[in-house]
A and B are shown apart, each in its own frame.
Chain A
Amino acid sequence: MIPTIYNADTVGIRPDLVKRPIDTWAELLNPEFKGKASILNIPSIGIIDAAMVCESVGAITYSDKGNMTKDELDKTMKVLTDAKKAGQFRAFWKTFDESVNLMASGEVVIQSMWSPAVTAVRAKGIPCYYTPLKEGYRAWAGGLGVAKHLTGLELDPAYEYINWYLSGWVGAFLNRQGYYSAVLDTAKQHMTEDEWGYWMEEKPAKGDIVDPFGTKIESAGAVRDGGSFYERMGRVTCWNSVMDENRYMIQKWNEFVAA
């Protein structure tokens, strides 16, 4: 497998409705946002967001959030279940558009979110901020793999596709959504200097910043939330992973959703 994309995730907020800076994962469980918070219902990702929150409120100390023990999983889901029963969460989202709609409609004012979803909310003209938090980010990466049985005429186009994928056009597309391309050098060639400065170097935008589909998301002077590439990727606390206790984790997550 060859890496193609990665990013550092955090929580998105509606600054117009939250009305104060948010700087810690613990805010997801703050009673101030009762009935207006949300987390994502994809166990392998949600569990790590949950752990970031639990550690931040001081409920649990983890040896490794990326590979939790059964005991740590039990405690994490207990904290989250109690919050759910107290009515902290408005909804759990599972797809990209659900997270966009929850945020854009104001049903939810703080939630775990993905970078392009934040961009999509902003493209509707609604303020949304992908806020950096003092405990750091949850990061993930993805890539393309080639099936083992491919040969000759099937194998060549597969490699050709991967080469094209990393040759810059896709990289620039991903970067403009707030992701990072695995080959930044080629992506840079397909972005304007202003775009590169805004997305990668924490420089204020000189002109309008547009998303990959051409919709304006920021005006001149804006600075990317979370800062530069090094600032964001340098503050990763935990990477997504398949845990040794994966099977147990999913059982516990299902219990949480059913509770």
Chain B
Amino acid sequence: MRLGTRFSAYLQVAPLTLVFVGFLVFPLLAIVVVSFWDYTAYTMVPTFVLTNYRDVLLSSVTYTAYVNTFKYAGFTWFFTLTIGFTVAYFLAFHVRTFIWQLILFLICTVPFLTSNIIRMISWVPFLRRHGIFNSTLQAMGLISEPLEFLLFSDFAMVLAFVHLYTLFMVIPIFNSMMRIDRSLLAAAADCGASDGQVLRDVIIPLSKPGMAIGSIFVVTLVMGDFITVRLMSGGQSASVGLMMMNQIALLQYPAAAANAVILLIVTLLIVMAMVRIVDIRKEL
């Protein structure tokens, strides 16, 4: 009998395990193996060399790219968290009826009906030198020369990231907030807590798992991004993902694989740190 339940438990996890082994573990192992291969201009040479890792770790580009990537991730995380928290707070505590919560929540997701590349490049005509924003400011007489920093800059990149990823913060934070027992808020108020105290001592601590999940989404998405960085910086900035992209375009797969392994380790460390600070299992 006991053996039977154990067997059926294994059987139950088998499909998902197989999918993970086939489509996650195996490709990852392949990347790790290839990262130790050598390469020429047109071929990969199956051998065991450490040159790829040496090239990555000893190159100043790697550090510049990581500093850049951390910077983009940091700014994006800060703004998405601030905006995401505010939107979720409004939805969860200020919108009283369930039906309106649902309607407003769906409105938040509308932009996701279009491709994120489209949403990104639609900033280009808006922000460029003779674009809508600059010509409006000029017509209003606020500026005499077009603002050049708006496009092909770090500003443009962070703006696009925030625009693309804020919803990934809104959803988990909203979810956490909806689980907060409303009687806790009433109890806090009864004990004389001000609105600010309720927010700081009750809502924020209880929303932490949602914030952590949202942060994991946003940070990992930004860490691995290459297309937003390329399009919004006008190709003038490098992120780790873009470095890999350049290598792949030139058939330097082993070098890209070594880069990918290091990025994976760095990103996993960040996620582990987040999970250590906040116990997201409460959420699941």
Contacts and interface: CB of A to CB of B under 8 A. Distances in A.
A106 B129 contact: yes
A248 to B, nearest CB: 10
Given A94-B230, A107-B129, A258 B238 contact: yes
A114 interface: no
Interface string A31-67: 0000100100111100000000000000000000000
A179 interface: no
Contacts of B55: 251
B72 interface: no
A251 to B, nearest CB: 6
B152 A41 contact: no
Nearest to B152: A91
Interface residues of B, number: 30
Interface in B133-164: 148, 151-152
B234 A91 contact: yes
B238 A107 contact: no
A102 to B, nearest CB: 8
Nearest to B247: A250
- Among B64, B236, B243, max chain A CB count under 10 A is at B236
A90 interface: yes
A2 interface: no
Interface string B60-71: 110011001000
Question: What are the 10 tightest A-B residue pairs by CB atom distance, in nearest-first order?
Answer: A91-B234, A258-B238, A92-B235, A258-B64, A41-B235, A255-B61, A258-B61, A91-B152, A254-B61, A257-B238
Nearest to B60: A255
Interface of B: 41, 55, 59-61, 64-65, 68, 124-125, 128-130, 148, 151-152, 230, 233-238, 242-243, 246-247, 249-250, 252
A192 interface: no
A89 B64 CA distance: 19
Nearest to B64: A258
B237 A258 contact: yes
A44 B250 contact: yes
A17 to B, nearest CB: 11
A173 B255 CA distance: 38
B65 A106 contact: no
A259 interface: yes
A163 interface: no
A220 interface: no
Contact of B236 (A42, A44, A84): A84
A38 B130 CA distance: 17
Contact of B246 (A43, A91, A93, A105): A43
A33 to B, nearest CB: 13
A254 B238 CA distance: 8
A250 B128 contact: no
A93 B152 contact: no
Contacts of A251: 55, 59, 61
A124 B68 CA distance: 37
A92 B236 contact: yes
Given A35-B148, A43-B246, A259-B64, 20 more contacts: A42-B249, A44-B250, A91-B233, A91-B234, A93-B235, A94-B235, A101-B124, A105-B130, A250-B246, A250-B250, A250-B252, A254-B61, A254-B238, A254-B246, A255-B60, A257-B235, A257-B238, A257-B242, A258-B61, A258-B68
A94 B247 CA distance: 14
Contacts of B243: 254, 258
